[in-house]
Amino acid sequence: MRKLIVCIADGAADDPSLCPKGTPLERAETPFLDSMTRHSVAGLCYTIPDGFSPDSDVGNMSLFGYDPAKYHNGRAPIEAAALGIQTSENDLIWRVTFCRTENEIITEPCASSLTQKEGKVLIAALNAACDDSSYTFMANKAYRHLMIQKNGRILLEEHNRKLTQQGKSPLVTSGPHMLQHMPLHGELSRYPASLQAIIQKASQVLTSHTAKTNALWLWGEGNAYTLPDFATKYTSNACIISGIPLLHGLGHMAGMQVITHPAFTGHPDTDLTAKANAALAFLQEPQNNIAFIHVEAPDHCGHIGDAEGKRKAIERIDSELLPILLDKMPSACIAITADHLTPAATKSHAHGAVPFIAYHRELPEQTAVQRFTEAECKKGVHLSKDTILLSELKQYYLTATATDKDLNLKK
């Protein structure tokens, strides 16, 4: 069985209509990626099913080979799985994001300058200030944290029944990155009164401790759940290499080997060389077949509106990650894609197909798609919305008995 490396450049795709000078992918100098693209099956695929917010929990679940429409049940439980948090089936897990607001409008959807130590201090302060034992804040990383609501599932179901009786739709939460520059009053008013009180009280606590954040937002709720075992589902052992708790949680839920290191971060300073070497070490073992390498930096830059930073993050993938993989494991199949669009112009996620390539050195050179960009990949194959990319890669690139030059993805 061939080895497969899936490189997920989180949020690397952009909206060309918002980039008059070219998208970060178009402006990036990527000689290795360009060469690989010409020896690939290239095109566009969908990672976000209809009816879902275009977020990383949904997109990465899809790229891991699990249909979100079938398996997804909230973002916060995925991050809880990374911490090994045990809850009852009626408890509700909420994602807590520290952010900044001005006049009840979110101006910074994530307080990304918060350090790990500062985040833990703030979580401790919130627990100390919370006089209701039904709510427990759990520290995670920097501005990303969790809250456990005892019997929250039952309470939320009751709240949504009341909304329905009033002729209103049930509560559907969104991350703060999707609510930028919008008045929060309307969103907050749909929350149960007890959660409204927590959000409002938290603002006072945070403001008294730091200038980096003055608000928190609760979203991504769900009760604990699991995914089918990856090795059983795909008859392949896999690992996930990432510095992001969300990806760690998905890996744990799927029974993958989760590889972490302090040098793996969610920022542009992440150690891509170390990530490449970790993937190679995993794949050297005969029983291991698939390595997912996740790079958060493009998405991070997109959220702060830094198109140049996003371009540089893409160039680092090309100059620091890909050369090592190509040199040390030349016979591997390498797929490269994104989990969703993160236009720097809007600092938010967006719906739409994302570019992908499926590379192998023995694939004949094709001329239809010359570069890994949104516009170029549009000239290639278009996978349908219900197609799971990994299923196609597994079928055609790992278990096929045909020669590489005969392989192709279904259109």
pLDDT tens, the chain, 411 aa long = 789 999 999 999 999 999 999 999 999 999 999 999 999 999 999 999 999 999 999 999 999 999 999 999 999 999 999 999 989 989 999 999 999 999 888 888 888 888 889 999 999 999 999 888 899 999 988 888 999 999 999 999 999 999 999 999 999 998 888 888 777 888 889 999 999 999 999 999 999 999 999 999 999 999 999 999 999 999 999 999 999 999 999 999 999 999 999 999 988 999 999 999 999 999 999 999 999 999 999 999 999 999 999 999 999 999 999 999 999 999 999 999 999 999 999 999 999 999 999 999 988 898 899 999 999 999 999 999 999 999 999 877 665 443 444 445 544
Q: According to the model, what pLDDT value does residue 401 have?
A: 42
Q: According to the model, what pLDDT value does residue 266 have?
A: 87
Token pair, residue 242, equals: 């990432």
- No. of H helices and E strands in the chain? 17, 13
284: helix, strand or coil: helix
291: helix, strand or coil: strand
On whether the CB atoms of residues 297 and 319 are closer than 8 A, the answer is no
Q: pTM here?
A: 0.90
Residue type, 61: M
Distance CA 130, CA 139 (A): 15
Helix, strand, coil percent content, the chain, rounded in steps of 5: 40, 20, 40
Q: According to the model, what pLDDT value does residue 181 have?
A: 79
Radius of gyration of the chain measured on its C-alpha atoms: 21
Distance CA 76, CA 352 (A): 24
Beta bridge partners of 147: 94, 137
Query: Which of 207, 206, 204, 185 is closest to 196 using CA atoms?
Result: 185
Distance CA 10, CA 27 (A): 17
| Dihedral sign, Cα of residue 214, residue 218, residue 219, residue 224 | positive
Could you give the residue range(s) of every CATH 3.40.720.10 domain in the chain? 4-72+226-406
Residue type, 12: A
Cα 60 → chain centroid: 5
Cα 58 → chain centroid: 7
**What is the enclosing helix (H) or strand (E) of 295?**
strand 288-295
Beta-strand relationship, 144-149 and 135-141: antiparallel
| CB burial string 400-409: b at 16+ within 10 A, e below | eeeebeebeb
Beta bridge partners of 216: 98
CATH of domain 4-72+226-406: 3.40.720.10
Query: Which of 373, 374, 363 is closest to 396 using CA atoms?
Result: 363
Token pair, residue 323, equals: 């050369």
Q: According to the model, what pLDDT value does residue 143 have?
A: 85
